[in-house]
């Protein structure tokens, strides 16, 4: 049996058993691969890092979307930065009052690959509410004159192309076009100092943060975090119950163990 191995940190690696490789290509930005795995269904990797597996992607996608959406008073115009696989858009489309989703993905090949190999994610990108822009998310945000009810940063790691999406300048630009931002914020076990720094920047532009922790088996250290920044008076509420998300689970994920506090 072949294995795909991701070096998650200096001394930690996760390996996933493979049935076969379904695709490998090099876009302008990164190496993109799709595998069929022994236990996790199909898996998408970018530069040899796990982006999603069919078996646990719902945890990530439910938890990046529903906490903020369940708190928003209004959610008509949404901006997703990254998210070319379509999973985040799939969850957003559960909200019938959403009128328009801009998806700004830097790498067109991610979208093509997802539509072909991950129909339960990619097909949602064909929805008529979705407008796809192939460009750099930070550049889009710095130039647009539109306003959004929320900006969702569904990015890769804060190294390489994803780095700018955690910068002071980007957050300032986001705060000009939206009162709400959600970002994936990496592993609190491996990158607590990064998260701490990001929160410090975020607080300059958003009055209140919701920092929450979610176990995601195929992500580095199995423990992931997300952060919402808001200038609205958001309140915990919500009724929706999905495979992972429930109002109670979101509330619980906001309890941060002392060891992980920023």
Tell me which residues are annotated as active site.
154
Q: How far is the CB of 244 from its own copies (least distance, A)?
A: 4
- The HSE-up count of residue 186 (CA atoms within 13 Å, CB side) is 23
Residue 105 beta carbon to its own copies: minimum distance, rounded to whole angstroms:
28
3-state secondary structure at position 191: coil
Q: Of 102 and 250, which has the nearer Cβ to its own copies? A: 250
259: Cβ contacts below 8 Å, ≥ 6 apart: none
Q: Evaluate whether 230 touches 48 at the Cβ level (below 8 Å).
A: no
Please say which residue, 110 or 216, places its beta carbon nearer to its own copies: 216
Annotation-wise, does 47 bind a ligand?
Answer: no
Q: How far is the CB of 211 from its own copies (least distance, A)?
A: 14
3-state secondary structure of 162: helix
The answer to whether the annotation marks 105 as part of a ligand binding site is yes
Q: Which is nearer to its own copies, 18 or 132 (CB)?
A: 18
Cα 50 to Cα 35: distance, rounded to the nearest angstrom: 10
Q: Flag whether 161 is marked binding.
A: yes
Q: Extract the runs of DSSP E, i.e. beta strands, from the chain.
A: 2-9, 12-26, 31-37, 42-46, 49-53, 77-82, 100-105, 130-134, 150-154, 180-184, 208-215, 223-230
Binding-site ranges for its own copies (CB under 8 A): 1, 3, 5, 9-18, 37-40, 56, 58-59, 189, 213, 215-217, 221-223, 241-246, 248-249, 251-255, 257-259
61 labelled binding-site residue: yes
Closest distance to its own copies from the beta carbon of 192 (Å): 12
Residues flagged as binding site for spermidine: 61, 85, 154-157
Annotated binding site for S-methyl-5'-thioadenosine: 30, 105, 136-137, 161
């Amino acid at each position: 049996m072949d294995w795909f191995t991701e070096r998650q940190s200096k001394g930690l690696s996760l390996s996933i058993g493979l049935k076969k490789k379904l695709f490998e290509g090099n876009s302008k930005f990164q190496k993109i691969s799709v595998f069929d795995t022994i236990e996790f269904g199909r898996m998408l990797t970018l530069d040899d890092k796990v982006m999603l597996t069919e078996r646990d992607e719902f945890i990530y996608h439910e938890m990046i979307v529903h906490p903020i959406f369940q708190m928003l008073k209004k959610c008509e115009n949404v901006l997703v930065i990254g998210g070319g696989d379509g999973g985040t858009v799939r969850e957003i489309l559960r909200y019938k009052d959403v009128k328009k989703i801009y998806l700004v993905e830097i790498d067109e090949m991610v979208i093509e690959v997802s539509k072909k190999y991950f129909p339960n994610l990619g097909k949602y990108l064909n929805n008529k509410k979705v407008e796809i822009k192939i460009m750099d998310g930070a550049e889009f945000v710095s130039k647009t004159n539109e306003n959004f009810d929320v900006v969702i940063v569904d990015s890769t790691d804060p190294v390489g192309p994803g780095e700018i999406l955690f910068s002071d300048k980007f957050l300032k630009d986001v705060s000009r076009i939206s009162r709400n931002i959600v970002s994936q914020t990496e592993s609190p076990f491996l990158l607590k100092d990064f998260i701490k720094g990001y929160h410090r920047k975020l607080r300059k532009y958003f009055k209140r943060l919701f920092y929450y922790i979610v176990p995601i088996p195929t992500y580095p250290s199995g423990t992931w975090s997300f952060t919402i920044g808001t200038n609205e008076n958001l309140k915990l509420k919500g009724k929706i119950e999905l495979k992972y998300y429930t109002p109670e689970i979101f509330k619980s994920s906001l309890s941060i163990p002392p060891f992980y506090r920023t």
